[in-house]
Structure 1
Amino acid sequence: MHPIVELAALIHPMPEPGTPDPDDILADVREDVHRLRREYADDLEATAFGSDTDPLIAALQKEQGAKEAADRRIRTLLAYAREFHPPRRYSLHELGEASGYTFSGVRTAYGDPEITLVQGQIGRTPRRAAEEQESP
């Protein structure tokens, strides 16, 4: 097997029988995985060829970028949960367990940039700013 195809197989593993439920969709799921593998391999080959980078290094860089993007999305969700989500306030412990942060890390995981991003995307004022406007 070609190394790029092997990398695609590592990133998009084939499901085991019994994994998708019901079992009768296994063939469809496997077909989707084959498509994802082809797309990944084509993209990785183009990236490696275009930048003269080793495919494994390109794959690691791609996954690092995905990891950073996921972390940004988590911080944005934490800002939303703590600053915008009505009417329930989530505990730091609950948010920490769900996000992979410690309960104290949740407080510092996001800041003004994430709050501004959420505000712009949902078109609402953060809870604390709204509370400050309401109090005399």
Structure 2
Amino acid sequence: MDLIEELAALRNPMPEPGTVTPEDCYADACEQVEEQRKRDALGLEAASDGLQTNPVLLTLEDLKAHKAAVDAQIRRLLAYGREFHGSRPIALEELARHSGFSFSGVRTAYGESEIRHVAAQIGREPNRPRRGTGKTEQ
């Protein structure tokens, strides 16, 4: 394998035997991973050639961007769970356990911008008005 193929393999690991359900789909899952590896390798090669940048560094930058996007999604889901969900907010302890945040971290993980984003995406306002958050938009 060359560098680009190795990076594509690291980004798209093959499933372990016994981890695909139903088991008879294991070969299909492996085939899908191979196809994704090929797509990633082509994209990475083109980007690395075009930008004349080390493909390892490009891969790290890409993963960093994905991580930031996932972190933003988590903050929005925490806002949804506390501000928009059902007739009562989901308990801080529950959200903390499932998000990897601490109890107090859930309270500070999102602010008015995440609440506005959730409201815009789902087309309604929070279930309860927010008071005394101490958060200001900058």
The one-letter amino acid of 1:43's match is: G
State the identity as a percent. Answer: 51
Deviation per residue, 1:9-38 (Å, 9 max, x gap): 111111122110222111110110001101
SS of residue in 2 equivalent to 1:128: coil
SS of equivalent residue, structure 1 residue 72: helix
Deviation, 1:76, is 0.5
Q: Secondary structure at the match of 1:129?
A: coil
Q: Which residue of 2 aligns with 1:85?
A: 85
Q: Does 1:18 align with 2:18?
A: yes
**Structure 1 residue 53: Cα displacement:** 0.9
Cα distance in 1 for partners of 2:47, 2:31 equals 24
Structure 1, residues 61-100: CA drift from partner, whole Å, max 9, x if none? Answer: 0000000000000001011111101124211111011111
Cα distance in 2 for partners of 1:65, 1:94 equals: 27
- What is the TM-score of this pair, normalised by structure 2? 0.90
| Pairs aligned (count) | 130
AA at the equivalent of 1:37: R
Q: By how many angstroms is 1:51 displaced? A: 1.4
Look up the match of 2:29.
29
Deviation string 1:35-74 (CA, Å, 9 cap, x unpaired) is: 1101111111122112111000000000000000000000
Cα distance in 2 for residues equivalent to 1:70 and 1:47 = 23
Q: Secondary structure at the match of 2:129?
A: helix
TM-score by length of 1: 0.91
Separation of aligned partners in 1, 2:105 and 2:123: 26
- In the other structure, the counterpart of 2:134 is none
Hey, what does 1:133 align to over in structure 2?
none
Give the distance between the partners of 1:43 and 1:97, measured in 2 at CA. 37
Unaligned runs of 5+ in 1: 131-136
Q: Distance in 1 between matches of 2:30 and 2:105?
A: 39
Regions of 4+ moved over 3 Å:
none
Structure 1 letter corresponding to 2:80: Y
Pairing 1:95–2:89 present: no
Does 1:49 find its partner at 2:53? no
Native 8 Å contact 2:87 2:127 kept in 1: no
Higher helix share: 1
